[in-house]
């Protein structure tokens, strides 16, 4: 831009686009696309590309297509096509009527290939796959020409048509671009552009038994759709000369490809192929396992799409690869949920409490605030009764001075209820294990304040034994023990870095009755325990909750570069 002050660009890609608009390139039009291959579910890395492509179109009044690059019939399918659409919508983007499939261009792509043959720029090679690999050379040595490289145009046309007509078996011939077997860029060493695959395609059915390769398809598909800015990740940088070559030789509309760094998160993998292995080898419970960084997994875990979009914004768009701390995503989640999430009480690991001076059989409804951060969220009733459950870790038989929760002879506040004092402990005679606490309550402290101004240091959460709802609560740790799971010892692969303790299932938790009515998938807070959401495994008899994140903010700590600090409880 001539006048830098006018720019609204926050990164280099938008700076390029603003300059193109200023120069009236493509008549000032901006067209982007998100081009997934439907061979797996989307992950958080894809979210960056989705936010960038759809966000750019939105910002510059342009269009963004959703296009499936579906050129590998054997590994692709409708399940993935549907899941990908679901995930993009959930993230908050809409392609309107701009849904496309590369497979819809197969006729056009075939014509482009014929055009290349006719101009002497493509040939049918009949070497085996193995021989082709041998002829390719290495990064340090030039490749060798195939003996079939100089077939005549007529012979090539004839063979290519017969490939199309199904006369040959898989792997017997390929169509290759005729570029340069000595190019330092391996992608330009006569890459294959069409191969024989007698496979059923999820859209084109059995119409084709030859399929164009990804590199051939991708650039042309962008061209056919009139994409002005083809935004893609850095690993495609050295494919660009090939795309440019195709577009120039066939002489069609030429989108501008711009590469940016992938989003990688610590302790997770962002690869469809690797995720597929985790699913197929049962390391996780499916593509939507809440431990995965797939969008469907994050959704099931209760991560709000807004938090993912905020993460992508904060990470920005640049040209160098880096690994983002998972803690930053967690920070974005907490930051969003703190203002939005309603509060409930749930006891993860219950310890029974009997209030000796509370009338047997009586249940009273106490008023609790739904969200202290949002006065509009209102209040609810929480039932209180003689028998309650509190968290095991909120009691210590022999507590140190700084322990402000319950101990024998100590008084605490039960959140929204009363002050209670522990007067005794009942133990299992054989094991010595604490079975229940005996307490008394002060009826004067209803609502949590003492009229005599007496104070207590601790406030703990609780659930009525009579009215509490039995629940299963799933707690998650990182799926991988290492920050970069792809770093492995000799002879190992990334699965060696899986964290064996990534899932903890608590089967005897109890939650307050109102938590029965949370909307599935919408996150809320169990006070002091973190953000949670109801899992689809929930049945009428048994609630199942996933912990989205804990309340502890490790990102702030990382930023301050402090060591472990006192836990605020």
> Residue 287 Cβ, how far from ligand ATP at the closest point, in Å?
13
The residue whose Cβ lies closest to ligand ATP is: 45
> Residue 315 Cβ, how far from ligand ATP at the closest point, in Å?
10
272 noted as active-site residue: yes
Provide DSSP, 76-112: --HHHHHHHHHHHHHHT---TT-EEEGGGGHHHHHHH
C-beta of 52 vs 122, nearer to ligand ATP? 52
> Residue 303 Cβ, how far from ligand ATP at the closest point, in Å?
17
> Residue 225 Cβ, how far from ligand ATP at the closest point, in Å?
14
C-beta of 32 vs 371, nearer to ligand ATP? 32
Residue among 189, 272, 291, 343 flagged as catalytic: 272
C-beta of 408 vs 488, nearer to ligand ATP? 488
Surface-to-core class of residue 499, CB atoms within 10 Å of its CB (0-12 exposed, 13-18 middle, 19+ buried)? middle
Count of residues making up the chain: 569
CA distance 34 to 65: 6
Cβ 75 vs Cβ 173: under 8 Å = no
Q: Token match 């905020």: residue?
A: 310
C-beta of 262 vs 380, nearer to ligand ATP? 262
| Strands 387-391 vs 462-464: parallel, antiparallel or unpaired | antiparallel
Residue among 37, 259, 264, 391 flagged as catalytic: 37
C-beta of 9 vs 324, nearer to ligand ATP? 324
Provide DSSP, 21-86: HHTTGGGG--EEEE---SSS--BHHHHHHHHHHHHHHHHTT-EEEEEE----TTT--HHHHHHHHH
Q: Which residues bind ligand ATP (CB under 6 A)?
A: 35-37, 45-46, 48-49, 232-233, 262-263, 270-273
> Residue 273 Cβ, how far from ligand ATP at the closest point, in Å?
5
C-beta of 38 vs 530, nearer to ligand ATP? 38
CA distance 291 to 279: 12
> Residue 102 Cβ, how far from ligand ATP at the closest point, in Å?
11
Tell me the torsion sign for CA atoms 489, 495, 496, 497: positive
Cβ 135 vs Cβ 146: under 8 Å = yes
> Residue 222 Cβ, how far from ligand ATP at the closest point, in Å?
11
Surface-to-core class of residue 456, CB atoms within 10 Å of its CB (0-12 exposed, 13-18 middle, 19+ buried)? middle
C-beta of 70 vs 411, nearer to ligand ATP? 70
Q: Token match 């006729």: residue?
A: 107
CA-nearest of 334, 336, 342 to 375 is 342
Angle at which helices 78-91 and 44-59 pack, to 10 degrees? 60
Provide DSSP, 394-429: GB-SS--TT--SB-BT-EEEETTS-EEEEEEEEE-T
Residue among 67, 151, 262, 334 flagged as catalytic: 262
The residues carrying an active-site annotation are: 37, 262, 272
């Amino acid at each position: 831009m001539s006048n830098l002050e006018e720019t609204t660009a926050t990164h280099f890609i938008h700076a390029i686009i603003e300059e193109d608009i200023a120069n009236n390139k493509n008549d000032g039009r901006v067209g982007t696309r998100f081009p997934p291959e439907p061979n797996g579910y989307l992950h958080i890395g894809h979210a960056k590309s989705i936010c960038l492509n759809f966000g750019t179109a939105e910002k510059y009044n342009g269009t963004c297509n959703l296009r499936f690059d579906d050129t590998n019939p054997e590994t692709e399918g409708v399940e993935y096509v549907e899941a990908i659409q679901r995930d993009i919508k959930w993230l908050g983007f809409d392609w309107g009527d701009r849904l496309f499939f590369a497979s819809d261009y197969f006729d056009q792509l075939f014509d482009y290939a014929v055009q290349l043959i006719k101009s002497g720029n493509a040939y049918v090679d009949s070497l085996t796959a193995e021989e082709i690999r041998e002829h390719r050379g290495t990064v340090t040595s030039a490749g060798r020409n195939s003996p079939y490289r100089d077939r005549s145009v007529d012979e090539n046309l004839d063979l290519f048509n017969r490939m199309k007509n199904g006369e040959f078996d898989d792997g017997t011939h390929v169509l290759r671009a005729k570029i340069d077997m000595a190019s330092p860029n391996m992608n330009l060493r006569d890459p294959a552009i069409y191969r024989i695959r007698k496979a059923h395609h999820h859209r084109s059915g059995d119409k084709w038994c030859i399929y164009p390769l990804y590199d051939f398809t991708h650039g042309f598909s962008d061209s056919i759709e009139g994409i002005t800015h083809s935004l893609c990740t850095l690993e495609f940088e050295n494919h660009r000369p090939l795309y440019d070559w195709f577009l120039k030789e066939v002489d069609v509309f030429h989108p501008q490809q711009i590469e940016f760094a992938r989003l990688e998160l610590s302790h997770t993998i962002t690869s469809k192929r690797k995720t597929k292995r985790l699913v197929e080898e049962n390391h996780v419970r499916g593509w939507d396992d809440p431990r995965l960084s797939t969008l469907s997994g994050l959704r099931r875990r209760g991560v709000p799409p807004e938090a993912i979009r905020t993460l992508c914004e904060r990470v920005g768009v640049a040209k160098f690869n880096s690994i983002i701390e998972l803690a930053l995503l967690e920070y974005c989640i907490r930051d969003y949920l703190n203002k939005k999430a309603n509060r409930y009480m749930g006891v993860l690991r219950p310890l029974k409490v009997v209030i000796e001076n509370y009338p047997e059989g009586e249940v009273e409804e106490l008023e609790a605030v739904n969200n202290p951060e949002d006065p509009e969220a209102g209040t609810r009733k929480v039932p209180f009764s003689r028998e309650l459950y509190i968290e095991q870790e909120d009691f210590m038989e022999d507590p140190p001075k700084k322990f402000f929760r319950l101990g024998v002879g100590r008084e605490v506040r039960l959140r929204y209820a009363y002050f209670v004092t522990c007067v005794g402990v009942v133990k299992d005679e054989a094991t010595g294990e604490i079975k229940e606490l005996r307490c008394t309550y002060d009826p004067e402290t209803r609502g949590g304040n003492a009229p005599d101004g007496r104070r207590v240091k601790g406030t703990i959460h609780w659930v009525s034994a009579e009215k509490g709802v039995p629940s299963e609560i799933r707690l998650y740790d990182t799926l991988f023990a290492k920050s970069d799971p792809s770093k492995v010892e000799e002879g190992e692969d990334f699965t060696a870095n899986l964290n064996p303790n990534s899932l903890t299932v608590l089967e005897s938790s109890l939650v307050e009755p109102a938590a029965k009515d949370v909307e599935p998938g919408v996150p809320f807070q169990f006070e002091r325990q973190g953000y949670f959401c109801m899992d689809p495994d929930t049945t009428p008899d048994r609630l199942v909750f996933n912990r989205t994140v804990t309340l502890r903010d490790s990102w702030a700590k990382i930023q301050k570069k402090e060591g472990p600090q006192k836990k605020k409880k």
